[in-house]
């Protein structure tokens, strides 16, 4: 369509309205004061006013909705509006849903067709807006992503999304898209029938106009509207299969802790049985129930913590301003940080072991050219294929993309000599977890690189201050602690040593964000943050095992609380030898409450190192081998070999309930987090909550460790600790906890 002057129907702040020479109307969105387009109250109101203007003028040939913000059609609803829902009565929430549906429904209420051009992020309410149009054109841009992430906030689409999706792509596909909350690209959306075409961005406007012309000529949009308005035909067998299979999958994913996925399934099935107008009220009622739940409140808080982290440059007093970010949780780092000229573009990784290879692959996935150094040529050569496989992993297909692996191979430079890093501007050392070896390598790195190069160590236990001692310039040295497996673990600890400069910290934080990770800045101390908070959880499980409590019971109770695996399962996954050495460091620092258990070295000495040897606290696979398909073949009876190893170290048994076991596992973690705050290891308690969710899998529906403490209250925590006091100082309230109880203060904001 040839462009003409904007219609003077405004003034509008969030959109422009153009009447083109061929009779088409284009509504273009650019929502100010936000990093991406979000559906603010103002944007929705102005859309309604723009449609008033269209209805009042000459009948258009078609309406086209598009965005003039690069990479963003609409990224969802305004998160601040969602936060306010928790305090509203359900009927008010349902009224707001009805009002939003009414505005969107106007896009397909007049004789002319409407088309949405989706170029960039189109999530949540943004996708619902596009679904309200008669036709949709997506671009094949890598930035284009469509999805319903509301489930990640404990919610479901509330402006007709579940109703329209089931009618457009079928109930089964609608359940999968909304209950999983994952994004799809334009090509996948076209295959599903979610969009009518997927084209290059420079052809989107022409394609939209052509589709509108065809629809207008054939009146096909009118027939589609008729189909979208009616119920969905589901034969009984199809419905029963969808209901039972989807429910089983959902419960398997959520463990029954998250109500939204099941509510989505139930709502879509209920909405299939009735006309779209009535289905909208069913959807709104389900949304209102979820919006009032504590799970949704906590998940929205966790989302806010993530947004806060994305704006954080890692320095005190520099958290950025709340920009009303959208609900999708998309990994867009702070643009001010990403435009910083001090960012490093020539990274290197030293060490091609498991962690070094994972770090190198993470850099390749993020688009870097990375140099990988290992003095062992065989180790280096053997790592390359795995690095490329990891870097080219496709989340959608759950397998490596061979073509992408080949394309990335040219971006991975390998060498056995340290001279290859001479031009690198950020070097991450990831060699053996031995201080003497690391110090030697760090000195050699410093000798090879320029004076502005940032040097980092990937370590889980070694104090940064000790590693920095032989360096000439420790101000440019810090820890960047990745967790294993690197691809799946989003948390990274950026560890500030006593001499580390602000510039080094800010550079490390910005670099980690460019990898799509979540950096938490912590002060140098034994165990840093995550391992220090984790160790009481692991330690207490072994103590209970020595008291005669079954391993399976301990792990079952931990999973019932919402942890992804129990502490003894986690021991086996980490490796008991690795845990042993980490335990020595933490025991030396905090031995009054975390004593090194004699059982762990006994298991290590017997050769039971966990999954990697086929046996630890549990037995795995056959012939001592862990199954390659990743399925844990755990025995169903107590392992006699472990029982024999425990016997010399047995403790007196105590009568205990499941609730007491849960308290013993988790309350020491809560107490340790308060000590972390007392010592200033983190700058804000909210960093602890974000860290334990991302690194330990602490249940997000509980909001994090300190948020869980808030749900109990300090006085209740003290009450629960009282009967455990004879276990020692690890169960004694800290001074901070006592003061909080006296003052009625929360654990965290």
Give catalytic residue positions. Answer: 481
Instruction: Please state, in angstroms and rounded to a whole number, the distance separating the CA atoms of residues 546 and 563.
Output: 22
Residue at token pair 């390749």:
364
Instruction: Please state, in angstroms and rounded to a whole number, the distance separating the CA atoms of residues 43 and 75.
Output: 13
Q: How does strand 197-199 pair with strand 412-415?
A: unpaired
Residue at token pair 């779209």:
276
CB atoms within 10 A of CB 329: 21
Q: How does strand 412-415 pair with strand 370-373?
A: parallel
Q: Which of 78, 82, 72 has its CA nearest to residue 29?
A: 72
**Phi and psi torsions of 430, nearest 5°:** -145, 60
3-class secondary structure, 538: helix
Q: How does strand 347-350 pair with strand 518-523?
A: unpaired
Please state the three-class secondary structure of 234-270 as a single string.
CCHHHHHHHHHHHHHHHHHHHCCCCHHHHHHHHHHHH
Instruction: Please state, in angstroms and rounded to a whole number, the distance separating the CA atoms of residues 630 and 339.
Output: 41
Query: Cis before residue 124, ω within 30 degrees of 0?
Result: no
Instruction: Please state, in angstroms and rounded to a whole number, the distance separating the CA atoms of residues 718 and 526.
Output: 27
Structure tokens at 27: 């509504």
The answer to whether 463 and 487 are in contact (CB under 8 A) is: no
By residue count, the chain amounts to 749
Compute CA distances 627 → 393, 484, 546, 613, 638, whole Å: 21, 19, 29, 11, 20
- In sign, the C-alpha dihedral spanning 453, 458, 464, 466 is negative
The answer to whether 645 and 630 are in contact (CB under 8 A) is: no
Query: Cis before residue 11, ω within 30 degrees of 0?
Result: yes
3-class secondary structure, 523: strand
């Amino acid at each position: 369509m040839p462009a003409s002057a904007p219609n003077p129907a405004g003034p509008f702040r969030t959109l422009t309205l153009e009447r083109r020479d061929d009779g088409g109307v284009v509504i273009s969105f650019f929502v100010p004061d936000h990093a991406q387009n979000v559906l603010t109250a103002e944007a929705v109101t102005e859309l309604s006013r723009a449609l008033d203007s269209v209805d009042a003028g000459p009948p258009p040939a078609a309406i086209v909705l598009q965005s003039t913000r690069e990479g963003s059609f609409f990224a969802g609803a305004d998160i601040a509006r969602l936060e306010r829902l928790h305090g509203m009565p359900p009927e008010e929430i349902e009224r707001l849903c009805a009002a939003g549906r009414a505005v969107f429904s106007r896009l397909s209420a007049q004789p002319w067709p409407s088309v949405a051009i989706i170029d960039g992020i189109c999530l949540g309410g943004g996708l619902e807006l596009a679904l309200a149009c008669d036709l949709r054109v997506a671009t094949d841009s890598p930035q284009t992503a469509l999805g319903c992430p509301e489930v990640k906030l404990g919610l479901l689409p509330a402006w007709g999304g579940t109703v329209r999706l089931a009618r457009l792509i079928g109930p089964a596909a609608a359940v999968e898209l909304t209950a999983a909350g994952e994004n799809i690209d334009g090509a996948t959306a076209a295959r599903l029938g979610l969009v009518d075409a997927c084209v290059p961005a420079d052809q989107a406007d022409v394609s939209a106009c052509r589709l509108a012309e065809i629809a207008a000529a054939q009146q096909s949009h009118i027939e589609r509207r008729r189909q979208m308005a009616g119920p969905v035909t589901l034969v009984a067998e199809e419905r029963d299969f969808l209901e039972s299979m989807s429910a089983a999958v959902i419960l398997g994913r959520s463990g029954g802790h998250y109500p939204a996925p099941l509510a989505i399934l139930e709502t879509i099935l209920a909405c299939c049985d009735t006309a779209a107008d009535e289905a909208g009220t069913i959807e709104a009622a389900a949304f209102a129930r979820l919006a009032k739940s504590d799970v949704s409140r906590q998940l929205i808080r966790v989302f806010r913590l993530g947004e806060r982290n994305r704006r954080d440059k890692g320095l005190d007093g520099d958290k950025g301003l709340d920009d009303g970010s959208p609900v999708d949780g998309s990994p867009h780092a702070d643009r001010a940080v990403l435009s910083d000229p001090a960012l490093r573009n020539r990274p290197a990784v030293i060490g091609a072991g498991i962690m070094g290879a994972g770090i190198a692959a993470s850099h390749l996935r993020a688009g870097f050219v990375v140099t990988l150094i290992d003095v062992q040529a065989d180790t280096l050569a053997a790592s390359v294929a795995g690095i490329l496989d990891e870097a080219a992993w496709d989340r959608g297909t759950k397998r490596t993309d061979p073509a992408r692996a080949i394309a990335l191979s040219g971006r991975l430079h390998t060498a056995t000599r340290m001279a290859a890093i001479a031009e690198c501007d950020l070097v991450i050392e990831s060699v053996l977890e031995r201080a003497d070896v690391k110090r030697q390598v760090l000195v050699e790195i410093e000798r090879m690189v320029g004076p502005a190069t940032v040097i980092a160590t990937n370590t889980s236990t070694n104090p940064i201050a000790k590693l920095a001692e032989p360096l000439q310039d420790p101000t440019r040295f810090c820890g960047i602690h990745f967790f294993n497996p690197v691809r799946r673990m989003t948390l990274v600890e950026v560890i500030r040593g006593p001499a580390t400069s602000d510039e080094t910290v800010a550079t490390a934080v910005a670099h980690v964000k460019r990898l799509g990770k979540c950096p938490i800045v912590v002060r140098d101390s034994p165990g840093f943050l995550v391992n220090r908070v984790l160790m009481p959880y692991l330690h207490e499980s072994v103590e209970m095992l020595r008291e005669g409590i079954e391993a399976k019971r301990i792990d079952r109770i931990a999973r019932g609380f919402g942890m992804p695996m129990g502490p003894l399962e986690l021991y086996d996954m980490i490796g008991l030898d690795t845990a042993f050495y980490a335990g020595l460091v933490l025991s030396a620092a905090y031995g009054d409450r975390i004593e090194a258990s004699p059982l762990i070295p006994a298991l290590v000495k017997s050769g039971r190192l966990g999954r990697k040897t086929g046996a630890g606290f549990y037995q795995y696979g056959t012939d001592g081998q862990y199954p390659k398909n990743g399925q844990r073949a755990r025995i169903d009876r107590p392992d006699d070999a472990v029982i024999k190893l425990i016997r010399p170290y047995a403790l007196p048994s105590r009568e205990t309930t499941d609730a007491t076991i849960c308290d013993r596992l988790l309350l020491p973690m809560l107490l340790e987090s308060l000590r972390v705050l007392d010592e200033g290891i983190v700058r804000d308690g909210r960093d602890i909550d974000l860290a334990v969710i991302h690194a330990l899998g602490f249940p997000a529906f509980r909001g994090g460790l300190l948020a869980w403490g808030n749900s109990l209250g300090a006085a209740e925590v003290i009450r629960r600790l009282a009967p455990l006091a004879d276990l020692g100082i690890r169960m004694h309230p800290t001074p901070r906890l006592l003061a909080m109880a006296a003052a009625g203060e929360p654990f965290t904001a």
